[in-house]
Amino acid sequence: MSTRVQTQGRLIDRDRPISFKFNGTLLKGYQGDTLASALLANDQMLIGRSFKYHRPRGVVASGSEEPNALVGLGEGDRFEPNQRATTTEIFHGLTATSQNHWPSLNYDVGIVNNVLSRFLSAGFYYKMFIHPRPFWKHFYEPFIRHSAGLGKAPNPEVRDADRYEHFYAFTDVLVIGGGVAGLQSALTAARAGAKVLLLEQTAHLGGRAPVDGGTIDGMEPEAWVEKARAELDALPNTQVRTRTMGAGVYDHGYVLGYERLTDHAPDTPGPRHRLWRIRAAQVITATGAIERPLSFAGNDIPGVMLASAVRDYLVNYGVSPGDRTVVVTNNDDAYRTAIALVQAGLKVPVILDARPTGGGALMDEAKALGIRVETGAAAVKVKGAKRVHSVCIGVQAGEGEVLEEVFCDAIAMSGGWSPVVHLWSHCGGKLTWDAGQAAFRPDHARAPTSHDGNPFVIAAGAADGAFHLKDVLQNAVKAGETAATRAGGKAESSAAPRGDAPEEAPLAPVWMMPQGAKKQLRMKAWLDYQNDVKVSDVQLAAQEGFESVEHTKRYTTLGMATDQGKLSNINGLATLANALDEDIPRVGTTTFRPPYTPISMGAIAGEARGEIFQPIRKTPMHAWHEANGAHWEPVGHWRRPYAFPRKGESVTDAVHREVLATRNSLGLLDASTLGKIIVKGPDAGRFLDMLYTNMMSTLKPGKCRYGLMCSENGFLTDDGVVARIDEDTFLCHTTTGGADRIHAHMEEWLQTEWWDWQVWTVNATEQFAQVAVVGPNARKLLEKLGGMDVSKDALGFMEWKDGDLAGFPVRVYRISFSGELSYEIAVPANLGRAFWDKLLEAGAEWDITPYGTEALHIMRAEKGFIMIGDETDGTVIPQDLGLDWAISKKKDDYIGKRAQARSHMTDPKRWKLVGLETLDGSTLMDGAYAVAEGTNENGQTNTQGRVTSTYHSPTLNKGIAMGLVLNGPDRMGEVIEFTNGGDDRVKARIVNPVFFDPEGEKQNV
Amino acid sequence: MSDVALALGGASFDGLVRIEELSGQGMITLRGDLTDKSIVKAVKDVFGVTLPGTRETIFDGANGALWMSPDEALLLCPYTQAQAKADELAAKLAEARALVVNVSDARAVFRLKGALLREVIAKLAPVDMSPEAFTPGMVRRTRMAQVAAAFWMDDTSTARVVCFRSVAAYMFGILSNAADGASAVNHFAR
Amino acid sequence: MLLLTCPYCGVAAEETELHAGGEAHLTRFGPDSSDADFTSYLFHRENPKGVHFERWRHVNGCGKWFHAARDTNTLEVFGTYSAQTTEPPKDLLGKIREKRPGFRWRDIA
């Protein structure tokens, strides 16, 4: 059984016990334990059930590569599925639950899948569940959803309780990985004067070295790590961040770092995760290597672990996964595990070394300790269900005849080491096959390149395929020097620290154990634990023609899900290569994509949640609107009041009341959001003549003109009133959504096409609060405020004037979007609220009524005025809307003019704007289509027009609409049918779009 | 004028730094050729400062000038003087090719005070805020989280951040959030 | 995420400060142009796997449009330059030819 031993445990503090819960049971661990080490210390071998077959699974690894030990962590608003027990530091009160089991971890009915496993082979989704078709929905899908998948999604009703943030950092050299290689390359680069940032994903520096042994400059690795850390901390240009993973390497030296600040201590205030958005001139990936499992039957039974993980649990956490551990290997490194176990007083009944002649110095050391070593040997199969019971031994060269059964409760396996090339590869770094190590390693000649075309990623240490301690150190020094030099520093060649460790004999690649294993054995030899992919599945895929490694991945699910094949990758593609009779490098790898391990959604969102999820733009009167019950409408990032419903009043009723109050007496609109762009210069008139379809250069100072703006492809994009301020200066009003866009449009043409024109623009939208005072009593109100003459003669329709009203400095535009007598009054924004309050107070005698955007829309529709975004949708030209009067015939050119002469634009069959009135007075549906005879080639009803705006007009007490209709203006009075939801149709008459006061008598008073 | 209402009414927050909405900051946008001698002279006459070089600031007491682009400067003065100074400058530049607009009300200005202000800004803006990269005397137009912003440092522990008035509440929200007392990164403070 | 240096303010701006504006050095065709010329101006674009000339705007910054010569495949940026020009600068073309022998873009080689 797995248990805590009395010695070792360099990372735990035995004086600080920690209690936590697993599946409701209270367990004890120590400060410094990971959840995996603490569970093993409590003999919790079985941690979850597998994805497809619900087979019992236990811890395999000791780090971020762990495929099996995934748990649901936390509860309620802090629950997260699929958390790796191996990278979870325990704390008081931690609660974890196992996944993928029903009804319980120990008794799982899904194990039935195990019995059916022959139906669940590669491509089973594609093959099994296609026929009969109706079975998919009612039988297969519910079955698959219930039994497959990883973990459970959090309750959608709860909200993440934690805070997150981003941080932008810039550095010359970014070192990812705080093992010996990372520390040494950071030291070398920093000594050369480079600014260095080092990220280490775990809480500890040093990587594997303190576990693996050897000496550095005669020191124990742990002592050397301490010394290196002290030197880095003392350097002013260097910073080390632990618990921070290099998640992804992107274009031009952009790197994401994922800092886990409080996962190990959730009661600490402050952000839980911080996403580092780093820009580095050079990136050193000192990301180490991952040990490969061996493919033998039963290699997924709890208790079968990576040899390095067994060593880690013993040395780092004082945990032994078993009393009797059999070591199975194809290389020397695993001997370290056997030696460590025996030195800790545990039993190693046998080391099965697949190599015919065994290993080197480490084998000799093991033998000297009295450990039995069998060379040319294989683990034929492991026996056991929820934990290892015994291993059957045969010869590696054979087919699986069992020569001997050895009883044991753990197996430490090692198939060699694969450099972690993920971060090297993210941004295009290429790999080369190292036949000696049977692994891919970075190809330095094909490194990722940056904005200057030069390489910006350097792999160091084991991540570069340097495995012996002396090679690691030399390699790291070189990486540090190269990085510092490339980043502009002056690195002087320095000697690497001396690394001493036993010399190792070469490994022998082993992709199947034993090499001739029969099908029954291959069907129980797992490649990918997380996705339940076996050797036989990959072989089947190859047999069925899935020759590309990317296809095989999709077909078999090899290398998918949360671990993305960290353990299975090389074994899987070696199996594929063998099945295809190809070389491994020719088969290649699947693409490595960021993040290295999953990062939280919260970290990605950063600060963007709640009130600051996105900017909400507020006018100076926003607070009044809020206090007065505004029903909001989002317009771009603005919030505009849609209407101001009173207590007990529906929104629709409020809109109707606002329209009638304005038409009959006096309304008030916050028009501050309308764009106000100042355009000045000797060429300003000429410039606006190009921007607008109208002639603006002829506008007289003091006057206003409504104008249309098109894009270069002719489509109407914005409209608004232009006021000429003086000979050189214009003020262009845009739509609310158009202010920034139109300002950018102006700057684009000025900067990139007419750069010799003398014109300057300023977007002054927010300098002013603007209020529309609208209705028959509008003038009376302004006269009551006093300060300037607003009479018809002094301020005629489509004129503007500066002055003051009730002591406020104002600019008054006499323009109307409602057909009423109307003044739009601009005051400096900081006076907006006071001016608004003043208007309300003074207008009380006329029952002054603030109105929202819907009343605005209805009133403009009653007048037949178009609205950008309703009548236009990016495919409509002004000519479609009967706006030919606003298109100058005198101008040689304006933006969009040439496009409007294209054949499709001049096609008489283009739908044109008309008014629409239902025969029964009802309101047409928004977006309804006018139906035509017959159907098209797809069997759909033909159409001859569509509704662009539709409202119930409280003024006329009937439905009114505008729409684009084939030959519309020539069909006045004709009745056509519109869709009305489903097969329902409603009849409407084509009429003039100006429904109200066609002579303009109301505004012209 | 007593009716003047700031976007947030002078909000403040204490955390890693103290954040205050300034009680009015006169701001005048000048567009034109910043190397034009007549423009430089007019600015000097009205504001007492010369025009700054690329991404630089020049201050003389409450007055100052910030480089915004090769043909744009932001001129600073006390809030109450902004319109008069804008009018005066516009009058002096009547013959020159330039545009002068008082934008004091179009913006909100926040002062950040405290040793960790670099960090607070670096949580929001894609800008190298290390002391060797950004110093008093420089101005940076950029984005902070999701909105356009500009900031400069008056001294090593004081910065001013400018954004559009409509997003003042958002800016105050993200600054306060970034300055949460328990969120120090300690990246620059070594 | 791309990093482009704005030639107007000198900032090495990351992509979130920038707005991409498509192909550079288009010649505007107006009302008197032929259908072929106008169609080409409006719709026809280069799509090279290799060096491309593009327009960018430092929108969250100094607000200026500028040009960039960038390899769409390797993302190498050969240079950024003023928007107020109808063709790439000679020295930039020299640099590109040196690094990408045989490069062609429209009628530039």
Q: Write out pLDDT tens, residues A672-700.
A: 999 999 999 999 999 999 999 999 999 99
The values of phi and psi at residue C86, to 5°, are -100, -5
Burial (CB count within 10 angstroms: exposed 0-12, middle 13-18, buried 19+), residue B4: middle
Q: Does domain A1-157 have CATH number 3.40.1710.10?
A: no
pLDDT at A407: 98
The values of phi and psi at residue A684, to 5°, are -60, -40
Cβ distance A766 to B165 less than 8 Å, yes or no, reads yes
- Residue A169 makes CB contacts below 8 A (sequence gap 6+) with A197, A257, A276, A277, A278, A279, B122, B187
Per-residue pLDDT reduced to its tens digit, B72-131:
999 999 999 999 999 999 999 988 899 999 999 999 999 999 999 999 999 999 999 999
Helix (H) or strand (E) holding A943: strand A941-953
Whether residue A271 lies within 8 A of chain B, CB to CB, comes out as: yes
Distance from C-alpha of B59 to C-alpha of B38, rounded to nearest angstrom: 20
Interface A–B counts its CB contacts (< 8 A) at 143
In chain B, the residue whose alpha carbon lies closest to the alpha carbon of C64 is: B69
Instruction: Name chain A's partners: 3 or more CB pairs within 8 A.
Output: B, C
**Rounded mean pLDDT, A582-609:** 94
Long-range contacts of C73-78 (CB under 8 A, 24+ apart): C73/C49, C74/A449, C74/A453, C75/A251, C75/A252, C75/A449, C75/A451, C75/C2, C76/A449, C76/A450, C76/A451, C76/A452, C76/A453, C77/A451, C77/A452, C77/C2, C77/C3, C77/C4, C77/C5, C78/C51
CB of A100 closer than 8 Å to CB of A48 = yes
The closest alpha carbon to A418, from A276, A541, A565, belongs to A565
pLDDT at C106: 94
Instruction: Name chain B's partners: 3 or more CB pairs within 8 A.
Output: A, C
CB of A34 closer than 8 Å to CB of A541 = no
pLDDT at A405: 98
Residue that is written with structure tokens 């930039």 in the block: C92
The angle that helices A569-580 and A535-543 make with each other, rounded to 10 degrees, is 40
pLDDT band at A115 (very low <50, low <70, confident <90, very high): low
C77/chain A closest Cα distance in angstroms = 5
Cβ distance A898 to C75 less than 8 Å, yes or no, reads no
Helix (H) or strand (E) holding C22: strand C19-23
Domain boundaries, chain C: 3-99
The closest alpha carbon to B99, from A621, A71, A375, A763, belongs to A763
pLDDT at A561: 82
- Residue A939 makes CB contacts below 8 A (sequence gap 6+) with none
Cβ distance B125 to A764 less than 8 Å, yes or no, reads no
Domain boundaries, chain A: 1-157, 164-290+418-500, 293-415, 510-582, 622-670+771-795+808-859, 675-766, 894-991
**Rounded mean pLDDT, C69-76:** 97
Residues of chain A neighbouring C55 (CB-CB closer than 8 A): 752
Cβ distance A898 to C33 less than 8 Å, yes or no, reads yes
Distance from C-alpha of A916 to C-alpha of A973, rounded to nearest angstrom: 10
CB of C77 closer than 8 Å to CB of C4 = yes
Per-residue pLDDT reduced to its tens digit, A731-786:
999 999 999 999 999 999 999 999 999 999 999 999 999 999 999 999 999 999 99
Q: Architecture of domain A675-766 in CATH?
A: 2-Layer Sandwich (3.30)
Q: Which residue has the higher pLDDT, C109 or A347?
A: A347
**Rounded mean pLDDT, A616-629:** 98
Distance from C-alpha of A361 to C-alpha of A507, rounded to nearest angstrom: 13
Q: Architecture of domain A510-582 in CATH?
A: Orthogonal Bundle (1.10)
pLDDT at A117: 61
| Pair type for strands B12-14 and B57-60 | unpaired
The closest alpha carbon to A531, from A512, A558, A491, A496, belongs to A558
Q: Is the pLDDT of residue B13 over 60?
A: yes
The closest alpha carbon to A766, from A635, A673, A680, A836, belongs to A673
Q: What angle do CA A124, A126, A129 make, to 5 degrees?
A: 80
Q: Map residue B85 onto helix, strand or coil.
A: helix
Whether residue A741 lies within 8 A of chain B, CB to CB, comes out as: no
The values of phi and psi at residue A428, to 5°, are 105, 5
B127/chain A closest Cα distance in angstroms = 7
pLDDT band at A285 (very low <50, low <70, confident <90, very high): very high
Per-residue pLDDT reduced to its tens digit, A660-672:
999 999 999 999 9
The closest alpha carbon to A740, from B185, B13, B173, C19, belongs to C19
**Rounded mean pLDDT, A21-25:** 96
Catalogue the E-assigned strands of A363-460. 373-375, 377-384, 388-395, 404-407, 410-414, 417-419, 431-434, 439-442, 457-459
Instruction: Name chain C's partners: 3 or more CB pairs within 8 A.
Output: A, B
Whether residue A752 lies within 8 A of chain C, CB to CB, comes out as: yes
Q: Does domain A894-991 have CATH number 2.60.34.10?
A: no
Over its C-alpha atoms, chain C yields an Rg (Å, rounded) of 14
pLDDT at A314: 98
Residues of chain C neighbouring A677 (CB-CB closer than 8 A): none
Instruction: Show the tokens assigned to B171.
Output: 């800016």
Distance from C-alpha of C11 to C-alpha of C2, rounded to nearest angstrom: 13
CB of A961 closer than 8 Å to CB of A915 = yes
Instruction: Show the tokens assigned to B79.
Output: 């809030």
pLDDT at A100: 74
The closest alpha carbon to A502, from A342, A365, A368, A374, belongs to A365
pLDDT at A43: 96
pLDDT band at A124 (very low <50, low <70, confident <90, very high): low
Residue that is written with structure tokens 């600490």 in the block: A268
pLDDT band at A148 (very low <50, low <70, confident <90, very high): low
Cβ distance C35 to A902 less than 8 Å, yes or no, reads yes
A164-290+418-500 CATH pick, 1.10.287.70, 1.10.1040.10, 3.50.50.60, 2.40.30.10: 3.50.50.60
Cβ distance A751 to C84 less than 8 Å, yes or no, reads yes
pLDDT at A338: 98
Q: Is the pLDDT of residue A67 over 60?
A: yes
C12/chain B closest Cα distance in angstroms = 9
Distance from C-alpha of A993 to C-alpha of A947, rounded to nearest angstrom: 12
Per-residue pLDDT reduced to its tens digit, A837-861:
999 999 999 999 999 999 999 999 9
Q: Is the pLDDT of residue A11 over 80?
A: yes
Q: Is the pLDDT of residue A128 over 70?
A: no
Query: How does the average pLDDT of chain A come out, rounded?
Result: 94
Fold entry, domain A293-415: FAD/NAD(P)-binding domain (3.50.50)
Of B54, B126, B143, the CB nearest to C9: B54
- Residue B114 makes CB contacts below 8 A (sequence gap 6+) with B16, B17, B18, B157
Fold entry, domain A622-670+771-795+808-859: Gyrase A; domain 2 (3.30.1360)
Domain with CATH 3.30.1360.120 in chain B: 12-23+106-178
pLDDT at B1: 47
Instruction: Show the tokens assigned to A190.
Output: 């920093």
Domain with CATH 3.30.70.1520 in chain B: 26-104
Residues of chain C neighbouring A893 (CB-CB closer than 8 A): 30-31
Per-residue pLDDT reduced to its tens digit, A293-340:
999 999 999 999 999 999 999 999 999 999 999 999 999 999 999 999
Distance from C-alpha of A174 to C-alpha of C94, rounded to nearest angstrom: 33
The CATH code for residues B26-104 is 3.30.70.1520
Share of chain A above pLDDT 70, in %: 96
Cβ distance A760 to B166 less than 8 Å, yes or no, reads no
Distance from C-alpha of A707 to C-alpha of A731, rounded to nearest angstrom: 12
Distance from C-alpha of C96 to C-alpha of C73, rounded to nearest angstrom: 14
Q: Is the pLDDT of residue A913 over 60?
A: yes
Instruction: Show the tokens assigned to A857.
Output: 């829309």
CB of A171 closer than 8 Å to CB of A213 = no
Distance from C-alpha of A600 to C-alpha of A603, rounded to nearest angstrom: 5
- Residue C32 makes CB contacts below 8 A (sequence gap 6+) with none
Fold entry, domain C3-99: Folate-binding fold (3.30.2270)
The closest alpha carbon to A65, from A399, A788, A563, belongs to A563
Per-residue pLDDT reduced to its tens digit, A802-828:
999 999 999 999 999 999 999 999 999
In chain C, the residue whose alpha carbon lies closest to the alpha carbon of B124 is: C16
Share of chain A above pLDDT 90, in %: 88
* Residue A724 Cα distances to A76, A419, A764, angstroms: 62, 70, 15
Q: What angle do CA B63, B68, B71 make, to 5 degrees?
A: 105
**Rounded mean pLDDT, A360-366:** 98
CATH class of the B12-23+106-178 domain in this structure: alpha beta
Instruction: Show the tokens assigned to B20.
Output: 């205050």
CB of B151 closer than 8 Å to CB of B162 = yes
Q: Is the pLDDT of residue A1002 over 60?
A: yes
pLDDT at A55: 87
The closest alpha carbon to A416, from A286, A506, A338, belongs to A506
Q: Map residue A931 onto helix, strand or coil.
A: strand
Instruction: Show the tokens assigned to A719.
Output: 């409209």
The angle that helices A221-234 and A180-191 make with each other, rounded to 10 degrees, is 30
* Residue A983 Cα distances to A941, A963, A978, A979, A986, angstroms: 11, 20, 10, 7, 10
**Rounded mean pLDDT, A602-613:** 96
Instruction: Show the tokens assigned to A657.
Output: 């009341």
Distance from C-alpha of B179 to C-alpha of A114, rounded to nearest angstrom: 54
Q: Is the pLDDT of residue A113 over 60?
A: no
Instruction: Show the tokens assigned to A169.
Output: 């950092």
Q: Hey, which residues 120-179 in chain B have their CB within 8 Å of chain A?
A: 122-130, 133, 145-147, 164-170, 173-174, 177-178
